[in-house]
Chain A
Amino acid sequence: MIRRLHLSDWRAIAHYLGMLVLTTGIAMLVPFAAGLVLGEYKAAVDFLFAIGICACAGGLLILCRVERGSLDWCQSLVVTGLVWIVISAVGAVPLFLSGCYQGYLDAFFDAVSSVTTTGLTTCADVDHMAGCMVLWRSMMSLMGCVGVIVIALALGIFGTSAAAATLYKAEGRSGQVMPEIKQTSRFILALTGVVVGVGTVACIVPMLMSGMDVPSAIVNAFIVTSSSFSTGGMANHSLGIMYYHSWPLEVMSLVVAAFGCINFVLFGDLWKGKRESFFKDIEIHTIAIWGIALAALMGFALAGNQYFGDTLAALRRCLYVVVSGMFNMGFSTMYAGQALYALGSGALFVVVLSMVICGSSSSASGGIKALRVGLIARSVAQTIREALAPAKACPRTFYYHHGRHLLGSQTVSSAMVIVVLYLCTYALGAIAGVVGGYDAIPAIFESVSAASNTGLSMGIVGAGMPQGLEVVYIFEMWVGRLEFIAFFAMIVEFFAFLVPRKRTRIRRRR
């Protein structure tokens, strides 16, 4: 039975959304200040205008309900579903005003791509974008990576009420490092700060060695590190990581991206000294096996490839692309259209496969997630064991994920449902690409990249792409990040609210 949301429920949802819009406005103060420091006054004025919009819209939404109250599960799902779009809508305002985009839809696409940590861009000329705008895109990626709601929880915006716990779970986070949600959120925020900080310092060295001046090295190192950890892949150069021509930087970006696609709770286990918990986890096992399988496949697929000339160069570039896809990062060591004729269909298929699954649950990465694939693989093993076991025997399969658990049919079926929904979304985007007039291989590649929030591109996404296809990719990035449940819950609740309730007639007996 569906619980219908009443007007009072929507007012509560609007209240919480308003608080998140206000938080976004406060976050815009950072690029605004950066604009003033860098002397980019026009861009700073754009941010000031966007902050004003956030203040007005957020204030009005908050006034929908004066008392904060607590959220139930349905309301939390709707807040989680809407927050990504609402924040992207206000986050796109300074991008649109910058004049780097052909229209608001293009700016909105980039904002959704940043917030969902995808990394696809419709900006025609990233190289000449204002520094504070580039910083804002990186900040949106970091906000999306940590989770907008997790940031709000860490800052204490939602307090420590029951609403905090329901919002945390509704955002797809599972497991806690600390007993309280607020403490766990602060741990995730601190972890992000430490990894990005240490990564930035480490990345400065190869940049200085390549002849970059100190301020530029710091800014570039921060953008590369934050884009790698958030698995967003939003760069400040149109060439992305290729701009730097530095293999140490490529290695560092992969290491930082690997940190981004590991479950945040597993870092908590390491922090507590529980190493065995980290190495026994089903997600770590699945990522390791999947990575080795992909590397082996790519090695076979590249046999006979003459494009790169040097074998070592071919292996370096192709390994980077596969691992970038697997870690959901989106940086590439090939030009957008180059992969189509340089790799060949076999290697391209391996890259598409690498983007399908991606990293862990409760991490920065998107895609089907290693946990679900691991559970399904275990259920296959369970089925084989049941078939081979004697009639009276009842074999049981366990898996390790934040403790040892018995594999149940309910767990496997829910994992299967999400996998099927992801595959349908990949297919939907590919069909839309083909209808838009593109070849099947680039259409499939781009669709998987958008829905898995990876960001590798074969050149379909860009300035001047068909607007219908742009909307389809926005939808894919959104539902891919939400992992479907919050999206479907929101749609059902919305239509249940619109459809008038049937009146039941009570006949009185005379």
Chain B
Amino acid sequence: MKIVDKAKREVRHPVAGLLTALVAVVCFLVVLAAVMALTHFIAS
């Protein structure tokens, strides 16, 4: 979904913006879980 602000000629992406943040957060959590599991495996 795109919203064009004609006054400022800016294209806005409300849905794509939130989805980008969502994907980034989920990837971050997966990385954290992987790092924790890996270090735990190495330490034990």
Whether A296 contacts B20 in the complex (CB less than 8 A), given A273-B11, A315-B40, A323-B29, comes out as no
11 A-B pairs whose Cβ atoms sit less than 8 Å apart in the complex: A258-B25, A259-B21, A267-B21, A270-B20, A272-B11, A273-B13, A298-B36, A299-B35, A302-B40, A311-B40, A315-B36
Classify the secondary structure of A's interface with B.
Answer: helix
Q: Give the one of B28, B36, B41 with max A CB within 10 A.
A: B36
Give the contacting residue for B39; candidates A259, A278, A295, A311; CB below 8 A. Answer: A295
Cβ-Cβ contact count across A and B, 8 Å cutoff: 92
Task: Determine the residue in chain B with the shortest Cβ distance to A198.
Answer: B18
A275 to B40, CA, bound (A): 34
1/0 contact trace for B1-24 toward A, CB 8 Å? 000000000111110111011101
Q: Give the one of A295, A296, A304, A323 with max B CB within 10 A.
A: A295
Give the contacting residue for B29; candidates A255, A270, A279; CB below 8 A. Answer: A255
Give the contacting residue for B25; candidates A255, A272, A279; CB below 8 A. Answer: A255
Task: Determine the residue in chain A with the shortest Cβ distance to B13.
Answer: A273
Give how many B residues have a beta carbon under 8 Å from the other chain's beta carbons: 29
- Whether the Cβ atoms of B25 and A303 lie closer than 8 Å is no
- Whether the Cβ atoms of B37 and A255 lie closer than 8 Å is no
- Whether the Cβ atoms of B17 and A273 lie closer than 8 Å is yes
A262 to B18, CA, bound (A): 12
Whether A291 contacts B28 in the complex (CB less than 8 A), given A311-B40, A315-B37, A319-B33, comes out as yes
1/0 contact trace for A283-304 toward B, CB 8 Å? 0000010011001111110111
- Whether the Cβ atoms of B36 and A270 lie closer than 8 Å is no
1/0 contact trace for A59-79 toward B, CB 8 Å? 000000000000000000000
- Whether the Cβ atoms of B21 and A262 lie closer than 8 Å is yes
Instruction: Give B residues with C-beta under 8 Å from A.
Output: 10-14, 16-18, 20-22, 24-26, 28-29, 31-33, 35-44
Known A267-B21, A288-B28, A298-B39; 6 more pairs at CB < 8 Å:
A259-B25, A267-B18, A273-B12, A299-B43, A319-B32, A322-B36
Is the C-beta of A194 less than 8 angstroms from some C-beta in chain B? yes
- Whether the Cβ atoms of B20 and A300 lie closer than 8 Å is no
The 8 A-B pairs with the shortest beta carbon distances in the complex, nearest first, are A299-B39, A270-B17, A303-B43, A299-B40, A295-B36, A258-B25, A299-B36, A295-B32
Is the C-beta of A254 less than 8 angstroms from some C-beta in chain B? yes
A492 to B33, CA, bound (A): 47
A311 to B43, CA, bound (A): 13
Q: Give the one of A255, A258, A299, A315 with max B CB within 10 A.
A: A299
A254 to B40, CA, bound (A): 21
Residues of B within 8 A of A273 (CB): 11-13, 16-17
Interface residue range, chain A: 35 or more
- Whether the Cβ atoms of B10 and A272 lie closer than 8 Å is yes
Residues of B within 8 A of A198 (CB): 18
Which A252-282 residues sit within 8 Å CB-CB of chain B?
A: 254-255, 258-259, 262, 267, 270-273, 275, 278-279
CB distance from A190 to the nearest CB of B (A): 9
Residues of B within 8 A of A297 (CB): 39
A194 to B35, CA, bound (A): 32
- Whether the Cβ atoms of A315 and B25 lie closer than 8 Å is no
- Whether the Cβ atoms of A272 and B40 lie closer than 8 Å is no
- Whether the Cβ atoms of A292 and B25 lie closer than 8 Å is no
CB distance from A302 to the nearest CB of B (A): 6
A244 to B34, CA, bound (A): 25
Task: Determine the residue in chain A with the shortest Cβ distance to B19.
Answer: A270
